[in-house]
Chains A and B, each alone.
Chain A
Amino acid sequence: MGIATATIKGFWNLILGLFTTGKYLPRKSVTLQYPDERWNMPERSRGVVVLLSDPQTGELNCNACQVCMKQCPVHAINVDQIKDPETKKRYPGNFTIDNTICCFCGICEEVCNFDAIKLTGKYEFSVFNKEELIYNKEKLQELGRDVKYTPRKKKKASDEDEKTEKKEAKPAEEKSETKTAGEKTESNPEEKDS
């Protein structure tokens, strides 16, 4: 008798399996037809790294403090600092990001104090030649043109408490030499992300 019940039970479970898979047959499939249909990348997506420019002047926000270069865990960033002798402003002479070794960890974005570098939701950057994956300053700036970001100054204006806090912090940061700025890692992540 044991064999008979086992056979019936087994048979029933085989049927049950068929029903379970059959249940999904008429349902709408979850596939997206990729190049035709696209999904919305979330705002926080960590894709290709770009350099941000000031929307008014169109100049790079970067002042070549080299924090990102020093904090990059895979050494994918390379920045040269040039100091303008007249205006005393610092700007990056050469800014390259090697996308072949970049691991998209987002540390560069977090340590940057000047809204200069950002990981965007862009993900289509395959090329035929490996060397083309090493992006130079112009390319990075071009990629960052249409990237929207909330500049830190505006955020401070909305929040009174932070405003005073930042005002004290800001000159200190700008005064500090590149060497100390380089060490300034993970300064205030909560403030940035809230």
Chain B
Amino acid sequence: MLEFDGLLLNIYNSLSLWFESLGVPLIWLDLLVMVFAGAVILGVIAVSVLFLVWWERKVSAHIQDRLGPMRTGKHGVLQTLADGIKLLQKEDIVPRVADKKVYFWAPVVCFVTAYMAYIVIPFGKGLIARDLNIGIFYIVAITSFTIISLLMAGWASNNKYALLGGMRSAAQIVSYEVPLTLAVIGAVMLAGSLSMVDIVKAQGPYFWRWYWLPQILGFGIYFVAATAEANRTPFDLPEAEQELVAGFNVEYSGMKFAMFFLAEFANMFTVSAIATTLFLGGWQPPLPGLSFIPSWIWFFGKTLFLVFVIMWFRWTYPRLRVDQLMGFAWKFLLPLAFANLFLTGLGVYFFG
């Protein structure tokens, strides 16, 4: 059925034959494929964010006994599009005392980092833009860039609330990077590879073999740390509305604000996708008999379930305070992550 794996390979092979027959060097084909992949990823981000924003509104609404957007399109599916168009029309206000260049580049950096992380996510069997052999390492490296953009935004706005938000986000993301990476290492140790595709393949098509069971602690740590990385409640201190108004993006308006917004949801999707890849068997069906459903549907299903859980957190829990947040990362998650690493090492040594 709708499996892209063989299809894409066939297209590539026939294209390369065609290029050879024309006498064009294959590097041009690779470049073409890269541009095409980039465009497709952009489309995936746009569509997924459009969907996620709508979904978040619907989830929050129904949790709160409301209906949410209902007017634009059936059950408001086009609401996000309408909001996007509205944001496009908005005046782009730059504060007089802002650091203009940094102010301009902050949302760009924020979005580009969110975008780059998508390159190594295996959306389905063979559906990956670039299967790097250090895939997970690449993701950890790239997602750390988000701090810089938030700090840039906070500093360049020349606003005290924004500065506080920027500082908070820097402290938070740096701290949660550590337990997050340690939790990832657990899964990498089991798989014996850093490549995303290999990690998925190592987990096999039986759901009890997936790493969420041996790595249940690691999965928990990863999920909590990832929620913090994506700046979601209960860790949404950088933009804590009731304290810092809107935190680092308080001065942003129009499309620049939309880019921060886009990046936030793209990040949420990324961390859920990585959790799916590392702990929930990626695009593999839970049982081999269920493989008639395309792999990418399994991947998106699992990812969206995790996204839903993150949303569920947001609409249930209050927000932590900044020192408690740091204490939680360093005093609770980090020792737990080390313990998980130690146990995993023992397990790999004795049973692996």
- Residue numbers of A with Cβ under 8 A of B are 14, 17-18, 20-22, 24-27, 29-31, 33
Q: How far is the CA of A14 from the CA of B312 in the complex (A)?
A: 12
B228 → chain A, closest Cβ, in Å? 15
Chain B CB within 10 A, most for which of A20, A27, A30, A31: A31
Contact call B67/A31, Cβ cutoff below 8 A: yes
Instruction: Give the residues in chain B near A26, CB-CB below 8 Å.
Output: 62
Instruction: Give the residues in chain B near A17, CB-CB below 8 Å.
Output: 316-317
Contact call B316/A24, Cβ cutoff below 8 A: no
Contact call B317/A27, Cβ cutoff below 8 A: no
Closest B residue, CB atoms, query A26: B62
Contact call A29/B312, Cβ cutoff below 8 A: no
Instruction: Give the residues in chain A near B65, CB-CB below 8 Å.
Output: 24, 27, 29-31
Interface string of B56-80 (1 = CB under 8 A from A): 0001011111110010000000000
Asked if B315 lies at the interface with its beta carbon under 8 angstroms from chain A, I say: yes
Instruction: Give the residues in chain B near A31, CB-CB below 8 Å.
Output: 65-67
Instruction: Give the residues in chain A near B317, CB-CB below 8 Å.
Output: 14, 17
Residues from 12 to 65 in B contacting A, C-beta threshold 8 Å: 59, 61-65
Instruction: Give the residues in chain A near B64, CB-CB below 8 Å.
Output: 24
**Could you give 8 example pairs across A and B, Cβ below 8 Å?**
A17-B317, A21-B312, A24-B63, A25-B63, A27-B65, A30-B65, A31-B65, A33-B67
Q: How far is the CA of A24 from the CA of B61 in the complex (A)?
A: 10
Interface of B is mostly: loop
Q: How far is the CA of A24 from the CA of B317 in the complex (A)?
A: 15
Chain B CB within 10 A, most for which of A14, A17, A20, A21: A21
Q: How far is the CA of A20 from the CA of B67 in the complex (A)?
A: 18
B330 → chain A, closest Cβ, in Å? 16
Closest A residue, CB atoms, query B317: A17
A11 → chain B, closest Cβ, in Å? 10
Q: How far is the CA of A22 from the CA of B64 in the complex (A)?
A: 9
Q: How far is the CA of A29 from the CA of B62 in the complex (A)?
A: 7
Contact call B62/A24, Cβ cutoff below 8 A: yes
Instruction: Give the residues in chain A near B316, CB-CB below 8 Å.
Output: 17-18, 20-21
| Contact status of A25 and B62, CB under 8 A, knowing A17-B317, A18-B316 | yes
Closest B residue, CB atoms, query A31: B67
Closest A residue, CB atoms, query B67: A31
Contact call A29/B70, Cβ cutoff below 8 A: no
Besides A29-B61, A33-B67, A33-B70, 11 new A-B residue pairs in contact (Cβ under 8 A), listed by A number: A17-B317, A18-B312, A20-B316, A22-B63, A24-B63, A25-B59, A26-B62, A27-B62, A29-B65, A29-B67, A30-B66
Instruction: Give the residues in chain A near B63, CB-CB below 8 Å.
Output: 21-22, 24-25
Contact call B67/A21, Cβ cutoff below 8 A: no
Q: How far is the CA of A30 from the CA of B62 in the complex (A)?
A: 10
Instruction: Give the residues in chain A near B62, CB-CB below 8 Å.
Output: 24-27, 29
A172 → chain B, closest Cβ, in Å? 56
Residues from 264 to 322 in B contacting A, C-beta threshold 8 Å: 312-313, 315-317
